A and B are shown apart, each in its own frame.
Chain A
């Protein structure tokens, strides 16, 4: 009897041991819903070595672009195992606006397990160095006298850039023409070549193009550390605060303790690359747990209100 029970007991113990084994045990797949070389991708590749060190397993980055992120997000919510071995990069306002404007996105804004929002890029209004607009007021003044003739380029439709231009139109009571481009890259020649009067872009663009372009206003609450001479919209009397947030999420239903482990790992990785990130024009943030959810809710309400006034 004893002889029969002993192996069974050993097997039971081993199973129990496996169940309590520390997550993570194997490689983690970090899905980036955008092309290699984009800002989301480069941030992930910066985090990658640190995540591997912290978690003790390898982290592979998989670029899965399409539909402005929707292809990956719908897959994560519909058909990815929620065992913590697949996580996905998420972006705001993208996950909030896309389900509002399309019925077939295949994902909903809140159906993620938010791990961490780690990065913020405020909107920034730029003009070429030789532009006639020295200040935000100059631009608004000119736009008031010449309705529709000030063209402002930006990345995509219904994006943070687009919404900021709409807010500027409403708050300053002027008529601007927003010209969407496919991503931030193509907006640079449009600005430098004088094809648009200004760009509504993100702060990394202000840093990248600091030699050739002037930042008229930044949509952050206070001046950002890396642009001490970049005045905010708020201090110029236009109450615009906004931009794009980057973060990471797990599929719905991922166990809370695993999400917690990932939150800590991403927080630490984000801390370690903070200096490089700020030099490139990114603002480091840290919203997890309830705070992450509140951020999503706040942004969703804000954009829903603005998009409603459009229609």
Chain B
């Protein structure tokens, strides 16, 4: 523990504390802008870290990363736009809460949940990094395939009662994800001869189109901002402590969500988006009021936000122990480390222990700093969104949507794709489709495809290659979980019907 106290000593100097506060604040605003991602912010920061001391540089990157994943909640709650893919599930209840005049409550709850998530992730990284890393290595191509299948079973609960529409939406999402160069084989698919379409459809671009544009069209059509006058009620003072109490009154929900976030985040390639969606789904399954989910349930919001902030420190587990960058921002952290001659592995925790633990602890501090900064920043952004009348708000958000779509890959094609998907999204919304299953298909389609084809290749010397898919115990567990997830709604439905029958008899 000497190394821990030494690391803390290094951390508590004004220069490092300043970096943490500044980094978290910058990250928060970057995350709150749809289209400006954590990866981008880290990339811009990277050259500066080369010139800095290793610890200062890593602290800067870690704080921005932490702030950005949390910042995504702001736009998710206030304008239904997932600022980062991690906050998709936050829109499901955050935005309805805001529409019902509970925006401040939602922002406070999201902040507290994020702080818990961030701290839990750091704690797990400090105490359990080696065993967690060993566990993460059990996931190979067959397991990835089954993780994607398990994720796709969420369509049932995300489609808001209309299962068939949900399945169709999920299918549409998978089809959209196929556009571009195939990950295996390298052929172009559905590009219709346009070179620009070889790049496929970027997740964030699709999310902005599917989530933000339909909402804007509705707002423009009715001339009423979703959260203007009505939400002014909740600017009243004294909302803070009751909200804190509400959040703290659901320890089971928070614990379940952070554990889900932890498990998902150590699997390389699965990030905050999948964690948030899974945690949301489990919260709904366990809730006493599942009918409120999607209509402004604070439980759903807390589940999503607490699980996605675990993933920041969580993805550092495979990175620091094994050198595996599990998510795009991690690759930049790895780059900064290599530049300073730090190589991931056991040595990082022994020889450069003070530095490594300093970096880990700084992420914990960043999570704590989120509380005051988030509450203050949330208030500012909220005031801005509410005060602006709809005829200014709609063009402002539209401009942000266009800028965000462009900025991601510096591509006008992406702006076009965003607008087309926005119009499709509007029509589908009018027809009663929810955008969540489409997003799910977009995220999981490529993971399922990759895992399936790789497994078949790996099994090509077996007599019957598909057996590769069910070879490992972990695969079988994931199969069982998927089957359970599919059967469970039918079972509960059957039980309610039976109860009703015996009740009426």
Say whether A45 contacts B199, CB under 8 Å.
Answer: no
A157 at the interface (CB under 8 A from B): yes
Question: Which of B324, B329, B458 is A179 in contact with, Cβ under 8 Å?
Answer: B458
Say whether A45 contacts B324, CB under 8 Å.
Answer: no
User: Bound state CA distance, A158 and B51, in angstroms?
Assistant: 38
Say whether B186 contacts A193, CB under 8 Å.
Answer: no
Question: Which of B180, B195, B269, B460 is A148 in contact with, Cβ under 8 Å?
Answer: B460
Question: A41 to chain B: which residues have CB within 8 Å?
Answer: 43, 335
A135 at the interface (CB under 8 A from B): no
Say whether B47 contacts A211, CB under 8 Å.
Answer: no
Question: A62 to chain B: which residues have CB within 8 Å?
Answer: 410
Say whether B458 contacts A74, CB under 8 Å.
Answer: no
Say whether B332 contacts A157, CB under 8 Å.
Answer: no
Question: A188 to chain B: which residues have CB within 8 Å?
Answer: 268, 322-324
Per-residue 0/1 for A193-214: is the Cβ within 8 Å of any B Cβ (1 yes, 0 no)? Answer: 1111000000000011111100
Binding site for A on B (CB under 8 A): 39-40, 42-43, 46-47, 50-51, 136-141, 180-181, 183-188, 191, 193-196, 198-200, 268-269, 318, 322-325, 328-332, 334-335, 338-339, 341, 343-347, 409-411, 413, 450, 454, 457-458, 460-461
Binding site for B on A (CB under 8 A): 35-38, 41-42, 45-46, 48-49, 61-68, 70-71, 74-75, 78, 98, 101-102, 104-107, 146-149, 151, 156-158, 177-182, 185-186, 188-190, 192-196, 207-212, 276, 279-280
Say whether B181 contacts A67, CB under 8 Å.
Answer: yes
CB distance from B302 to the nearest CB of A (A): 31
Report the nearest B residue to A66, measured CB to CB: B199
Report the nearest B residue to A38, measured CB to CB: B331
Say whether A157 contacts B184, CB under 8 Å.
Answer: yes
CB distance from A298 to the nearest CB of B (A): 22
With A186-B268, A208-B344: A46-B410 Cβ-Cβ less than 8 Å: no
CB distance from A273 to the nearest CB of B (A): 10
Question: Which of B186, B338, B346 is A102 in contact with, Cβ under 8 Å?
Answer: B186
Question: A42 to chain B: which residues have CB within 8 Å?
Answer: 46, 335, 338-339
Question: Which of B141, B199, B335, B450 is A37 in contact with, Cβ under 8 Å?
Answer: B335
Question: B269 to chain A: which residues have CB within 8 Å?
Answer: 186
User: Bound state CA distance, A213 and B51, in angstroms?
Assistant: 31
Report the nearest B residue to A192, measured CB to CB: B137
Report the nearest A residue to B187, measured CB to CB: A102
Question: Which of A36, A38, A46, A180 is B50 in contact with, Cβ under 8 Å?
Answer: A46
Question: B193 to chain A: which residues have CB within 8 Å?
Answer: 104
Say whether A37 contacts B43, CB under 8 Å.
Answer: yes
Question: Which of B323, B328, B454, B461 is A149 in contact with, Cβ under 8 Å?
Answer: B461
CB distance from A155 to the nearest CB of B (A): 11
User: Bound state CA distance, A75 and B331, in angstroms?
Assistant: 26
Say whether A189 contacts B139, CB under 8 Å.
Answer: yes
Question: Which of A157, A211, A279 is B185 in contact with, Cβ under 8 Å?
Answer: A157
CB distance from A106 to the nearest CB of B (A): 3
CB distance from B26 to the nearest CB of A (A): 16
Say whether A104 contacts B194, CB under 8 Å.
Answer: yes
CB distance from B44 to the nearest CB of A (A): 9
25 CB-based A-B contacts, threshold 8 Å: A35-B328, A36-B42, A37-B334, A41-B335, A42-B338, A45-B50, A46-B47, A46-B50, A62-B410, A64-B411, A67-B181, A107-B195, A147-B461, A157-B185, A177-B457, A179-B141, A180-B183, A185-B331, A186-B269, A189-B137, A189-B140, A189-B324, A194-B137, A208-B343, A211-B345
With A182-B450, A195-B458, A208-B323: A66-B198 Cβ-Cβ less than 8 Å: yes
Say whether A279 contacts B344, CB under 8 Å.
Answer: no
Question: A193 to chain B: which residues have CB within 8 Å?
Answer: 137-140
Say whether A67 contacts B195, CB under 8 Å.
Answer: yes
Question: Which of B194, B409, B458 is A196 in contact with, Cβ under 8 Å?
Answer: B458
With A74-B195, A182-B183: A189-B318 Cβ-Cβ less than 8 Å: yes
User: Bound state CA distance, A311 and B21, in angstroms?
Assistant: 58
Question: A70 to chain B: which residues have CB within 8 Å?
Answer: 181, 195, 198-199
Top 3 closest A-B pairs, CB basis? A66-B199, A106-B195, A67-B198
User: Bound state CA distance, A78 and B195, in angstroms?
Assistant: 10
Say whether B43 contacts A195, CB under 8 Å.
Answer: no
Question: B450 to chain A: which residues have CB within 8 Å?
Answer: 181-182
Report the nearest B residue to A49, measured CB to CB: B47
With A149-B461, A189-B139, A193-B140: A71-B411 Cβ-Cβ less than 8 Å: yes
With A46-B339, A192-B137: A181-B195 Cβ-Cβ less than 8 Å: no
With A70-B195, A105-B195: A192-B322 Cβ-Cβ less than 8 Å: yes
Question: A158 to chain B: which residues have CB within 8 Å?
Answer: 186
Report the nearest B residue to A67, measured CB to CB: B198
CB distance from B46 to the nearest CB of A (A): 5
Question: A190 to chain B: which residues have CB within 8 Å?
Answer: 140-141
With A148-B461, A195-B458: A74-B196 Cβ-Cβ less than 8 Å: yes
User: Bound state CA distance, A238 and B369, in angstroms?
Assistant: 57
Say whether B140 contacts A195, CB under 8 Å.
Answer: yes
Question: B42 to chain A: which residues have CB within 8 Å?
Answer: 36-37
With A186-B269, A189-B318, A192-B137: A37-B332 Cβ-Cβ less than 8 Å: yes
User: Bound state CA distance, A82 and B20, in angstroms?
Assistant: 43
User: Bound state CA distance, A280 and B334, in angstroms?
Assistant: 12
Say whether A68 contacts B139, CB under 8 Å.
Answer: no
CB distance from B331 to the nearest CB of A (A): 3
Report the nearest A residue to B329, measured CB to CB: A37
User: Bound state CA distance, A71 and B411, in angstroms?
Assistant: 10
With A181-B454, A186-B269: A63-B346 Cβ-Cβ less than 8 Å: no
Say whether B181 contacts A36, CB under 8 Å.
Answer: no
User: Bound state CA distance, A104 and B343, in angstroms?
Assistant: 40
Question: A105 to chain B: which residues have CB within 8 Å?
Answer: 195, 198
Say whether B461 contacts A146, CB under 8 Å.
Answer: yes
Report the nearest A residue to B196, measured CB to CB: A71
Question: A192 to chain B: which residues have CB within 8 Å?
Answer: 137, 322, 324
Say whether A67 contacts B458, CB under 8 Å.
Answer: no
Question: B335 to chain A: which residues have CB within 8 Å?
Answer: 37, 41-42, 45
Question: Which of B43, B184, B194, B334 is A180 in contact with, Cβ under 8 Å?
Answer: B184
Say whether A279 contacts B328, CB under 8 Å.
Answer: no
With A45-B43, A46-B50, A192-B322: A63-B409 Cβ-Cβ less than 8 Å: yes
Q: Which among A70, A279, A280 has the greatest number of chain B C-beta atoms within 10 A? A: A70
Question: Which of B51, B141, B184, B332 is A36 in contact with, Cβ under 8 Å?
Answer: B332
Question: Which of B43, B137, B194 is A63 in contact with, Cβ under 8 Å?
Answer: B43
Q: Beyond the given A66-B180, A189-B136, A189-B318, could you list 17 further A-B residue pairs with CB under 8 A, ordered by the A residue number?
A: A36-B42, A45-B50, A46-B339, A49-B51, A63-B409, A66-B199, A67-B180, A67-B199, A70-B181, A101-B187, A102-B188, A148-B461, A156-B186, A177-B460, A189-B140, A207-B343, A280-B338
